[in-house]
Structure 1
Amino acid sequence: MSDSTQQAADILMAVRQGGPKVAGLGAAAPQTEAGAFAVQAEVLKRLGARIGGWKCAAPPGKPTSAAMLDAGFIRPGPLRWPVPAGGQIGIETEIAFRLGRGFPKRDAPYTLAEIQDGIESAFPAIEMVSSRYLDTSKVTMNEAMADSIAHAGLVLGAAVPGWRGMDLKNLTVKQTCGGTVQVEKVGGNPSGDPFTPLLWLANYLPSVGLALEAGQVVTTGSCTGLLYVDGHQRVTGGFAGFGEAVVELD
């Protein structure tokens, strides 16, 4: 492991352990996506965690991105989630999939049909977002990926029966906080279709020595955008005919 990977992990862990947020990783910032994943993996190791899944995005004409998810913070809702006193936490409503099989490295790319066949179940989800940086707009994409793209946790609703017969990219999404509707619209996935980033991720990860594995959960991008909210409120995020996830913010 490189010195810069260790240094980047030192910086991010200090924030996770209660230190002040940082402007960036400075000279320790990874220069490649593989380097960003190395930092993610080192942070998970130091947390005593394991990879339970991934977040990913593959928006047309824009950079792709992905981050490892701490298995201990992929949780079924409804549940309570702590928010720092006087602080806020970001929330995003998404569609997530649990994989029934892995997608190891092979010569031929995986097809959409193979990816869809490999999905065990689908869920509405709320991603909890909290960056370790002072201003995420002022860090590079590799720095953002090193910090797991500000991921803090994933709350899952119930698995959805009959999801294979649904038009997932055109569901009506609705997110509320404290009883107030924040977002209600049709569609909204940044990649257009939630299967698009999953297909990209399955074919991309082997190029950096990683792979999707059976049992992992993949969340496919916010359909509501990122909204920061105060604690002591009830948050719901879901889709018409697809159920919802629920979080009580402490």
Structure 2
Amino acid sequence: MKSNGSPHLTVAKLLIDARVSGPISKLPDNCRPSNMSEVYAIHDAVAAELGPVLGWKVGAKNATAEPICAPLLEGTIYKSPARLDPQKFSMRGMESEIAFQFASDLPTRLKPYSKDEVLGAIDKAFPAIEVNETRFVNADELDVMTKLADNILNGALILGQPWSEWPSLVVADQLVEMYFDDKLLYSHKGGNNAVDIFRLIVWVANHMRKKGSGITAGQIITTGSWTGLHQAGKARKIVTNFPNIGDVTVKF
């Protein structure tokens, strides 16, 4: 990739190279993104080199906040039980999530998609673990927009067995458990900050509609953490269990 002097292409090239050559310390001051439009331009440039896009991660700070998303790139989605190379994952930030898969396309168009149209295009859900990872030496030292530009720290998404009864999901009543090396780390009912995770899916569908790409059958949407982010540290086996939905395992 050539940057051609463009700030977002310069950042994209640095992030792409870091996936091969190793983490970088920071972005040049004159290239740091300052808003979500610049963040999404960086995402698009990275995805153009590392795609195809297999789906998106999406989240929101609370029930009314504007969602944000990042692409799930080829080679980052795994089936449970998954084993990841510990040499390629240093941050190992674990989040318990529920992901959804589209069975039919939602192509670009002028008219916004309704909730019924979007949910009607979904055929299955999955218990999931998102493994957060950074292309930087220390994510804690980064400003917020740089973290968001770094694919919102997506490293991998692990999917459990498909769950067809997802329309019956009541977020506030659903229990979630996270285990590190078979020890219970977290147990909570509800817990997704967005509250209505289906709102997030509708937002992604219309965000992609406006961008001109739309949604393609088979793509995955993972809808944010139910547990917050927990760094695995020396733990070698991480399990998330959503009772009555399923469990998912990743090992290092």
Query: Do they superpose with TM above 0.5?
Result: yes
> Which stretches of structure 1, 4 residues or longer, exceed 6 Å deviation after superposition?
none
Aligned to 1:246: 249
After superposition, the CA RMSD in angstroms is 2.3
With over 3 angstroms needed to count, the CA separation of the structure-2 counterparts of 1:226 and 1:116, relative to structure 1, is same
Distance 2:102 2:93 in 1: 26
Aligned to 2:139: 135
Distance 1:210 1:29 in 2: 26
- The residue type paired with residue 239 of structure 1 is F
Which ranges in structure 2 are unaligned for 5 or more consecutive residues? none
> 2:80 aligned with 1:71, yes or no?
no
1:13-32 pair list within 5 angstroms: 13-32=16-35
Distance 2:197 2:67 in 1: 14
With over 3 angstroms needed to count, the CA separation of the structure-2 counterparts of 1:183 and 1:229, relative to structure 1, is same
* 1:10-55 CA-partner distances (Å, limit 9, x unpaired): 22123222333323453222344343223223223434x3100000
> 2:230 aligned with 1:227, yes or no?
yes
Aligned to 1:51: 53
Q: Secondary structure at the match of 2:21?
A: coil
Contact 1:76-1:155 at 8 Å conserved across structures: yes
Contact 2:54-2:219 at 8 Å conserved across structures: yes
Distance 1:109 1:101 in 2: 17
Distance 1:129 1:243 in 2: 21
> 2:170 aligned with 1:170, yes or no?
no
With over 3 angstroms needed to count, the CA separation of the structure-2 counterparts of 1:70 and 1:113, relative to structure 1, is same
1:71-90 pair list within 5 angstroms: 71-84=74-87, 87-90=90-93
Distance 1:85 1:201 in 2: 29
> 2:132 aligned with 1:161, yes or no?
no
1:91-106 pair list within 5 angstroms: 91-106=94-109
Contact 1:8-1:28 at 8 Å conserved across structures: yes
Farther off after superposition, 62-71 or 163-172: 163-172
Identify which of 111, 115, 119 aligns with 2:118.
115
With over 3 angstroms needed to count, the CA separation of the structure-2 counterparts of 1:16 and 1:161, relative to structure 1, is same
Aligned to 1:148: 151
Contact 1:90-1:229 at 8 Å conserved across structures: yes
Distance 1:80 1:161 in 2: 25
- TM-score computed with the length of structure 2 as normaliser: 0.88
Amino-acid identity (%): 28
Distance 1:125 1:210 in 2: 25
Distance 2:8 2:91 in 1: 29
Task: Return the offset for 1:244.
Answer: 0.8
* 1:133-188 CA-partner distances (Å, limit 9, x unpaired): 323574243x3332110000100000013222232443101110111111110011
Contact 1:89-1:129 at 8 Å conserved across structures: yes
- TM-score computed with the length of structure 1 as normaliser: 0.88
Aligned to 2:195: 192
With over 3 angstroms needed to count, the CA separation of the structure-2 counterparts of 1:163 and 1:63, relative to structure 1, is closer
With over 3 angstroms needed to count, the CA separation of the structure-2 counterparts of 1:99 and 1:127, relative to structure 1, is same
Task: Return the offset for 1:232.
Answer: 5.5
Q: Secondary structure at the match of 1:158?
A: coil
Which ranges in structure 1 are unaligned for 5 or more consecutive residues? none
